[in-house]
Amino acid sequence: MLSTGIDLVETNRIKKSLENPLFLQRVFGNNEIASLKTKSPKQQILSAAAWFAAKEAFSKSLGTGIIGFKLSEVEVVHNEFGAPKLIFSDNIKKLVEGKTFSLSLTHTDNYAAAVVVSMIDEKHCSPVKE
């Protein structure tokens, strides 16, 4: 079974939010915070906006919204080719068990967007009642 989530964020909204140190702690995990510190100020805003959109899209792909996890427990990392992927804290491994996620990110100076497609292993699907 496939499920999709999508989100669009205004980068100026994230720029303003980044001025509050509590925003960083509430929304981003340790890997993301460390990665942001290596980027230019403009790239910090664009990356943070795309990652925020990814977390929202992830929650939508679950079909539950942000229930049962904190945004900081879902992190965006990149493989050796630069492709983004989601990693999860131990606290939410049970929530994502049996699911595989694909992530796509994009941004302009004004907007960032993310799409998450999740595939649920058939053995983890509940039978459909008619």
Local structure of residue 109 (DSSP, 8 states): S
End-to-end CA distance of the chain: 17
| Least confident stretch, 5-9, 71-75, 111-115, 121-125 | 121-125
For the chain, domains (ranges, CATH) are: 2-124 (3.90.470.20)
Region of 13 on the Ramachandran plot (φ > 0 left; ψ -120 to 50 alpha; else beta): alpha
Top pLDDT among 120 and 82 is at 82
pLDDT one-digit tens code per residue, 27-47 = 999 999 999 999 999 999 999
The Cα-based distances of 56 to 5, 26, 32, 65, 109 in angstroms read 8, 14, 16, 8, 20
Catalytic residue among 15, 70, 99, 107: 107
| Least confident stretch, 12-16, 68-72, 124-128 | 124-128
**pLDDT on residue 94:** 87
Judge whether residue 122 has pLDDT over 80: no
Residues near 102 by beta carbon (within 8 Å), at least 6 away in sequence: 116, 117, 118, 119
Is 60 labeled as catalytic in the residue annotation? yes
Catalytic residue among 60, 85, 93, 129: 60
Is 78 labeled as catalytic in the residue annotation? no
Q: What angle do CA 91, 23, 112 make, to 5 degrees?
A: 95
pLDDT one-digit tens code per residue, 45-97 = 999 999 999 999 999 999 888 888 999 999 999 999 999 999 999 999 888 99
Cβ-contact 66, 59 below 8 angstroms: yes
